[in-house]
Amino acid sequence: MLPALILLLLPAVAVFTGLILLNSIFATYILFYGMVCVIVPLLDRIVIHRQTLREFLRYIGFVNIRKSLLPGLLIGGVFLAAIYLFFMIFSRQLIDTSAMTTALNRWNLDSGNLFVFLFMMIVGNSILEEIYWRGYIFSRLRKVTGPGNTVILTALFYTSYHLITTVTLFSLVQGLLLSSAIFLVGVFWAYLRIKYESIIPAVISHLLADLGLMLIYLKYLAV
**Confidence grade of residue 35 (pLDDT, cut at 50, 70, 90):** very high
Measured between alpha carbons, how far is 164 from 33 in angstroms, rounded to an integer? 16
Considering only the C-alpha atoms of the chain, give the largest distance between any 2 of them, rounded to a whole number of Å. Answer: 52
- Of 12, 29, 10, nearest in space to 163 by CA: 12
**Residue 208 pLDDT more than 80?**
yes
What is the DSSP code (8-state) at residue 50?
Answer: -
Section 139-153 average pLDDT: 96
pLDDT (0 to 100) of residue 223:
58
Q: Which residue has the higher pLDDT, 118 or 221?
A: 118
pLDDT (0 to 100) of residue 1:
60
Mean pLDDT (the chain) is 95
pLDDT digits (tens, 9 = 90+) for 45-61: 999 999 999 999 999 99
**Confidence grade of residue 194 (pLDDT, cut at 50, 70, 90):** very high
pLDDT (0 to 100) of residue 111:
73
pLDDT (0 to 100) of residue 25:
94
DSSP string, 72-130: HHHHHHHHHHHHHHHHHHTHHHH--HHHHHHHHHHTT--GGGHHHHHHIIIIIHHHHHH
Handedness of CA 75, 160, 103, 113 (dihedral sign): negative
Measured between alpha carbons, how far is 100 from 200 in angstroms, rounded to an integer? 32
Half-sphere exposure of 25 (CA within 13 A, CB side): 17
Measured between alpha carbons, how far is 80 from 58 in angstroms, rounded to an integer? 28
pLDDT digits (tens, 9 = 90+) for 66-114: 999 999 999 999 999 999 999 999 998 999 989 898 999 999 887 778 9
**Confidence grade of residue 207 (pLDDT, cut at 50, 70, 90):** very high
One-letter amino acid at 64 equals N
pLDDT (0 to 100) of residue 171:
92
Question: 98 vs 105, 170, 173, 221, CA distance in Å?
Answer: 11, 11, 19, 9
Section 154-166 average pLDDT: 97
Run of H or E residues at 222:
none
